Structure 1
Amino acid sequence: MIRYFRTFLVAAETSSFSAAGARLALTQSAVSTQIRRLEEDLGCTLFERAGKSVALSQEGRKLLPEAMRFVALYESMKGRAHCASDTTPLELGAVSTVQATLLPGAMKRFRAGFPKTHVNIVPGTSTQLLTQVDARELDVAVLIKPRLGIPQELKWVPLMRERFVGIAPAGSPRDLKAVLAAMPFIRYNRHSMGGQLVDRYLRRHRLWVEEGMELDEPAVILRMVDEGLGCAIIPAALVPLQAARHVVEIPLPGEPMFREIGVLVRQSALKRASMAALIDALVVETAHAT
C-alpha cells in the first residue's frame, strides 16, 4: 500500500497520471489503477478527472499533508531498520542454460556479502522472463537480449556473446547441408529467443530440415546428438561441447551467429545494495567462465 501513497504524492505534484508514470517508471494505466485502489481503500475520491488532466479533489487536498507525513515516516523507519546485510528477498529469473552454468558460481560470490538474503530463482524462457520483469513479478532476470529493444524503465547489463555452432554425431560429413539431409534435426525450441535465431538462420540460408524433436535446453540437445539421435545448431559457450566424445562440430555457412546474454533489471531496483552485488557477481562469474 505504501507505493500507492507514493504514486498519489507524485500524481498530486505533477497533476498528470502520465507524468507520474514517467517519473515512477509505470504506465499511465498502472498509475490510474493504483490511485483507484487507494480511493477504494480510503473510501473517497482523491482526484477530479477531466480528460487527460487530473486535479486534487477536496478530499485529496485534505489528505495530502497526512499522506506526505505517512510516506516520510515510512522512509525514516526503513532507514533505521536498514543494515549492511540487506535481507529483502530477491526474485531472480534465469534461463536454464544460465541456471546450470553461471548461476551457482555467481550465487557463491553473492553469498559472501549477503549471506541472509533470500533469493527465489524462477525458471523460464527469455520471452517469459522479459514479461515477468516488465510486470514487476521479477526484480531481475538473466536472459537472451530481446530483438525489439529494452523498455525505458528497464536496464540491460550485457554479460556475454555466445556463438552458435552446428553439431552432429562423430563420423558425419563436415558439410551442414549434407548433414541436414542425412539425419533428423534436433531443433532448439522456437518459442525461445535462441530458437528463433536458429529458425531465421535456416530460412535465410534456405536449409531444409527433417524435424526430429524440439527442446529448450542446449545441454540436453548436445546429449541427444551424442547418442546419435540427430544433428543440431546450438549456442556453444555454456555447454560441455568438448566433453561430448561422440560429437563433431560442423561449420555454419555465412556470417557467424551469436546470441547476447545479459541481465535485465528495473532501474529502480538498482538502488538496492543486494541487487547491485548480485549483478556484479554475475558479471565476474561470466568473465571467469568464458
Structure 2
Amino acid sequence: MVIRYLQTFMAAARASSFSAAGARLGLTQSAVSTQIKRLEEDLGCLLFERAGKSVRLSERGRQLLPEAEHIVQRYQAMRGASRQPAPVAITVGAISTAQTGLLPGALRRFRQSLPAVHVNVVPGMSSQLLAQVDEQELDLAVLIKPNLNLPRHLKWTALMRERYVGIAPRGTRGDWEAVAAALPFIRYNRKSHGGHLVDQFLRRLSTGVDELMELDEPAVILRMVREGLGCAVIPGTLVDAAADRQVRIVELPGPPFFREIGVVAHPREANEAVLASLVESMRKQAVELEARA
C-alpha cells in the first residue's frame, strides 16, 4: 500500500495536478487526494502546497521526492529479481450477509476451477467497501447497489434482487398489521440503504410500530426474532429466513420491494481472468439462491 501511495505522490509531483495524476493512474481526483493525505499523515509533513485546484511540491516534498523514486525503483527491482512466479492472490470485500449467504457457495464453485488462488475476504458496509474499491485497496466488493451513480471508471455487475419479508416468532398469528400491532418492532438500521427501504415501507402503511431496537445486520435481527423479542422486516434471501423453523414468514401488504446486490470492481488487466471467474461463480450461486427462495 505504501508503494502505491509513493507512486501516486510521484505522479502528482510530475503532473502538478491531482486530477491529471488520477487520469494517469486510473484513479479519481478524490482517491489521489486521499492517498496523498494519508502519506502526509504517515510522514508527518506536507508534501504539497494547495492553492484552489492547483498543487505544487512543498519544500519538504521536493526533498523527499528523490527518496520516494529510489524506494519505488528498489521495490520494482526486488519484484523483478524473483524467479518464481508469485502466487495469485485477490482481495474481496463483502457485506456481512454476502459473506455468510453468498460467498461460501460461490467460493466452492470458484475453487473447483482455480484451486490455487488465495482469496482474502474483507468485511465492511457498502459505502466503506465502495471507497476501498475506488482506492484500489480491494480487487472487487459485493455490496448493495449505491443510490448514486458510480464513478465511470468502476464497473457494476448485478447479481440478485433480494426480496424483503416480514418475520415473526413461530406461533404468532394474523396478517402483518396484526403482528406489528401485537409485537415490538426490531428495525433494520434506517441510516443504511437497506434499512431506508424498510423505513419507506412503514411510512407507506401510515401505521406506527412499537420500536424495541435498531440493528445493522439482518442476520442478527433474525436471531432476535427467533428468540421471541419481536417482529421485523428484512431482506430474507441471503439469511435464508424461510428455512428458520423458529421464525414465521409474514406476507407484507402492498407491492413487494427489493434491494439489489452486486459486484463493483475497478477494471484492470492484472488477474482479470481470475476475477471474472469469481464473479461468474457468484452469479451462478445467486441464481441458485433466488430459485430456492
Q: TM-score range by the shorter chain?
A: 0.7 to 0.9
TM-score (norm 1): 0.74
- Matches of 2:122 and 2:103, distance apart in 1: 12
Q: What is the identity, as a one-letter code, of the residue corresponding to 2:265? A: V
Shift of 1:285: 1.9
Please list every run of 5 or more consecutive structure 1 residues that lacks an aligned counterpart in the other structure: none
Q: What is the identity, as a one-letter code, of the residue corresponding to 1:94? A: A
1:144-155 equivalent positions in 2, closer than 5 A: 144-155=144-155
1:102-117 equivalent positions in 2, closer than 5 A: 102-117=102-117
Name the SS of the counterpart of 1:224 in structure 2. Answer: helix
TM-score (norm 2): 0.73
Aligned to 2:20: 19
Aligned to 1:267: 267
- Matches of 1:88 and 1:281, distance apart in 2: 17
- Matches of 2:34 and 2:236, distance apart in 1: 46
Q: What is the identity, as a one-letter code, of the residue corresponding to 2:22? A: G
Name the SS of the counterpart of 1:119 in structure 2. Answer: strand
Aligned to 1:156: 156
User: Identity of paired residues, percent?
Assistant: 52
Q: Report if aligned partners of 2:102, 2:282 keep a CA contact under 8 Å in 1.
A: yes
Shift of 1:29: 6.9
Q: Radius of gyration: which is bigger?
A: 1
Q: Greater shift after overlay, 236-245 or 13-22?
A: 13-22
Q: Report if aligned partners of 1:144, 1:259 keep a CA contact under 8 Å in 2.
A: yes
Q: Alpha carbon RMSD of aligned pairs, Å?
A: 4.1
Q: Note closer, same or farther for the CA distance 1:87–1:272 as it changes in structure 2 (3 Å cut).
A: farther
Aligned to 1:187: 187
Q: Report if aligned partners of 2:225, 2:231 keep a CA contact under 8 Å in 1.
A: yes
Q: What is the identity, as a one-letter code, of the residue corresponding to 1:158? A: A
Deviation readout 1:112-160 (Å, 9 max, x if unpaired): 3433333221222223322332333322211111112212222111100
Name the SS of the counterpart of 1:268 in structure 2. Answer: coil
Name the SS of the counterpart of 2:206 in structure 1. Answer: coil
- Matches of 2:191 and 2:34, distance apart in 1: 33
- Matches of 2:161 and 2:267, distance apart in 1: 23
- Matches of 1:29 and 1:219, distance apart in 2: 33
- Matches of 1:173 and 1:203, distance apart in 2: 21
Shift of 1:184: 0.3
Shift of 1:51: 7.9
- Matches of 1:269 and 1:139, distance apart in 2: 11
Determine whether 1:173 maps to 2:174: yes
Please list every run of 5 or more consecutive structure 2 residues that lacks an aligned counterpart in the other structure: 57-61
Shift of 1:214: 2.6
Q: What is the identity, as a one-letter code, of the residue corresponding to 2:131? A: T
Q: Note closer, same or farther for the CA distance 1:233–1:278 as it changes in structure 2 (3 Å cut).
A: same
- Matches of 2:95 and 2:5, distance apart in 1: 32
Shift of 1:259: 0.3
